[in-house]
Chain A
Amino acid sequence: QSALTQSASVSGSPGQSITISCTGTSSDVGGYNYVSWYQQHPGKAPKLMMYDVSNRPSGVSTRFSGSKSGNTASLTISGLQAEDDADYYCSSYTSGSTLVVFGGGTKVTVL
């Protein structure tokens, strides 16, 4: 069981917007602005899409945005495109002894 809770799957049509959620506790997501998001295509290494809640690394499309409210962080993908079809994982710093925790992943399907 993952430390952070993500919905198993989200789907949308090309051009639509979708939001992936990631729920933790006050010891991780809610307590610090250290949430990150990763995109992973089959057989590939994860790719950083967002860090520190809402910061986009250089080269990541502006269609991706991040936010947080309380113990839940969100990644929104606007103008959904075929290449966005992938697994997405959230991660957070935690004040617990584990230091870094991940969510179980959300499968995004572009219809």
Chain B
Amino acid sequence: DAKTTQPNSMESNEEEPVHLPCNHSTISGTDYIHWYRQLPSQGPEYVIHGLTSNVNNRMASLAIAEDRKSSTLILHRATLRDAAVYYCILRALNDYKLSFGAGTTVTVRA
């Protein structure tokens, strides 16, 4: 299975953007890049996913490198509610399993 590498932790100030990097140098052509986040004492929730093009939704933006070996999740204006563990995951097209690594713990300072 293709693996991802994320920093263990990141800090941000409230109302500032947060850029969360993810390296996936062994990604294959049909692997989707998924991001989830887990708020304290809750189950993970879906944030965004993409294949090749950059993606935007109401929660975040996903910027995918041209060679697809890395991606960045962008939270445009961090709020205290964005403090969570963020997981970057690769999902193969015909693979129904998602494996979660340790993720990046994001701390937001007021």
A and B found bound together:
no
